[in-house]
Structure 1
């Protein structure tokens, strides 16, 4: 009898109700029905591990929706990366490379709305979510512009656009007319405003000149040099008069390009959709 009782006690925990790892179906239906795209919302929430099992208020659901969009964006980014070796020609590779960058930017923007260490107002969240959604549309547009078959886009998107749209709909920030001070938007800091209003050329950290009288002969070289500089202040690159046939991409913060004026310092590029570049990648100077 003692042995039988011991065996019974050992097996009792196996018959207890298992812990539910997902949100309750009632909550999922209730909250997802309030979004413009309830189907992907319901599907992914049903498969999302969670130990609290309830969504108590709208702010909780908004946070969950942003996290869900970020998770799917990261999954899509991984899928895109794996598609690189499968590109058959230069046009496919160009569209693929754009999407790889654009999903990275989307990941960064979505993270800004979630990271507790980043100050993000409701208006900020609207801006970052809108930017993230635009990035995905730009990715899709690149395939269309270059005539690349877009049969790979479903694998790349993973419903990310719909999930971001849901978060945008939940945020609901009304449009407000921008406010200005001294001719500049109020978000422009006083120091930056003075720098822009100054009639004299600000002190340059690097000088670019085609005749060799500066630190570098091309703007690309100057941008590359700026990336190795430390400090958080404004970094000024003075570009002397001349025509610079370059396509510049700046991935740095607080960089300021200053020239000698209209018609004197000219930066020109020749990339176009007709030449095999996407619109996104054809900018003469892109930030």
Structure 2
């Protein structure tokens, strides 16, 4: 396979941006009053100045929130449930301090797409923190202290500023790069391509030293080390967590990977890959052979965020040929198999098995290719910019209840987040297909006010309800964005779909292409180095 490279422009932010008034900026955020409060009323030299101010407020609020959480965690009287919610907040707030510090330190040279991704993820982090705390019986004084920082509002203002920043060629500089543009792309020269093979002999030889890992380089991408996890004791590690701990923290080379080969077996352990473990690749022996499993659920008194069997935050994470499972079952409510908040992360030929809330695409740009996803209620959910391509989506049997595939959580109109389901197959799982009686399955429901989900070129079997979508307990029909484009199969007819103002049937190819790998998650810029195949656009 080959591709033709062509010139592709990326957007860089700089200080020569056009002037804007704070009034025009504030009209584009849901928090206009707060925006006018923090931005000066006099016209500044450029929108770059507004950006500096808004990011300063966002970073200051992130640090304030983190300090308040640390203080509350130190109090001996804090209940266990509250401690768990606060621990989530500490994790998320610490990540936000890192994100916003990156933006603040490199503001005048940031790639616009990357900046929007970081700010969108930061807003998702604050929202998740507050959602967990709101469900806890906290004293009003404690809640006031935590919410006083207006963390969501300041980041919302920052998003509004940078929406203005790259509106039109005159407000940005552009740099031409030679990168692949569309079609079916597989970076043949990526040394990671060899590791993606279904034949595991090569990776076994790298892990055992029979092959020199120096061959896994092409001048840009390289592999620092390949280690093996085996419960039989014939690898460097017997547990996945120990192998992760051995990976370097915050590697200085952004294009050097650490590879963990996990041989076939069942690994009953909850796993977290923290944000300091970047450029990590986890490769198994195949779906149903290498299995990572756990059984945490909200019925155990945990937050949804903390139920994940496998959670990852480290940038540029890749998983291949692994089954991720949560066995809590259909009666125990929210129980996450995978929670992903890793920027530019990829899951390839993996399986996600659970019931309610199986796959938590929490935040940051994500790509899933040729994966199997099983669940019942909201089993693909979160607020990441994410594309699922050539995946199998299997609603499962949930007695006396209906299934809902997606629940997207976009909270701000300026967030570049949403769920894009491209060229996938939606069919009943074995237990649902063999059950007697009709079981309703919906394409999605709006978890938050600006929920955004599209289905493109996908097969929909007869289990999909003619109305397609179902409301939440709030009316978000006019602010959400749901769309379908060129789907097929007995459940794909849009004749009887919902008539919400925010639902769009039979959208144009140009509109659909906004949600492609190239345009929605900027995949042309970062996926080729991973060695994972992808289709760039819909046109």
| Maintained 8 Å contact 1:207/1:238 | yes
Residue of structure 2 aligned with 1:137, choices 127, 130, 138: 127
Match of 2:151 in 1: 160
Alignment of 1:1-287 (within 5 A): 31=22, 34-35=25-26, 36=29, 37-44=31-38, 55-86=44-75, 88-116=78-106, 120-145=110-135, 147-149=136-138, 151=140, 152-157=142-147, 158-172=149-163, 180=182, 182-183=184-185, 191=190, 194-195=193-194, 197-201=196-200, 202=203, 203-204=206-207, 205-227=226-248, 232=253, 233-251=256-274, 252-287=277-312
Q: CA deviation at 1:224?
A: 1.2
Normalized against structure 1, the TM-score is what?
Answer: 0.74
| Maintained 8 Å contact 2:263/2:290 | yes
Match of 1:7 in 2: none
When residues 197 and 169 of structure 1 are mapped into structure 2, their CA distance, relative to the original with a 3 A threshold, is: same
Name the SS for the 2:105 alignment partner.
coil
Counting matched residue pairs gives: 245
Name the SS for the 1:34 alignment partner.
helix
Segments of 5+ residues of structure 1 without an aligned counterpart are: 1-29, 47-52
TM superposition outliers: structure 1 runs of 4+ over 6 Å: 228-231
When residues 148 and 269 of structure 1 are mapped into structure 2, their CA distance, relative to the original with a 3 A threshold, is: farther
CA RMSD of aligned residues (A): 3.0
| Maintained 8 Å contact 2:247/2:258 | yes
Normalized against structure 2, the TM-score is what?
Answer: 0.41
CA distance in 1, matches of 2:156, 2:162: 10
Name the SS for the 1:207 alignment partner.
strand
CA distance in 2, matches of 1:182, 1:99: 40
Structure 1 stretch displaced more, 110-119 or 265-274: 110-119
Q: CA deviation at 1:231?
A: 7.0
CA distance in 2, matches of 1:208, 1:33: 56
CA distance in 2, matches of 1:32, 1:250: 42
Q: CA deviation at 1:197?
A: 4.5
Name the SS for the 1:191 alignment partner.
coil
| Maintained 8 Å contact 2:228/2:235 | yes
CA distance in 2, matches of 1:65, 1:231: 29
Q: Which has the higher strand share?
A: 2
When residues 79 and 131 of structure 1 are mapped into structure 2, their CA distance, relative to the original with a 3 A threshold, is: same
1:116-149 Cα deviation digits (max 9, x unpaired): 289521221111110000001111222245x443
CA distance in 2, matches of 1:189, 1:143: 47
Name the SS for the 2:305 alignment partner.
coil
Q: CA deviation at 1:275?
A: 1.1
Structure 1 stretch displaced more, 259-268 or 114-123: 114-123
Segments of 5+ residues of structure 2 without an aligned counterpart are: 1-20, 168-180, 208-225, 313-539
Q: CA deviation at 1:213?
A: 1.9
1:25-56 Cα deviation digits (max 9, x unpaired): xxxxx62673132443454568xxxxxx9722
Point out the structure with max Rg over C-alpha.
Answer: 1
CA distance in 2, matches of 1:95, 1:182: 43
Name the SS for the 2:101 alignment partner.
helix
Match of 1:5 in 2: none
| Maintained 8 Å contact 1:140/1:153 | no
CA distance in 1, matches of 2:262, 2:162: 43
CA distance in 1, matches of 2:78, 2:50: 42
Q: Which has the higher helix share?
A: 1
Structure 1 stretch displaced more, 195-204 or 208-217: 195-204
1:173-230 Cα deviation digits (max 9, x unpaired): 68xxxx645346xxx8952662464344333322111122222211111111224797
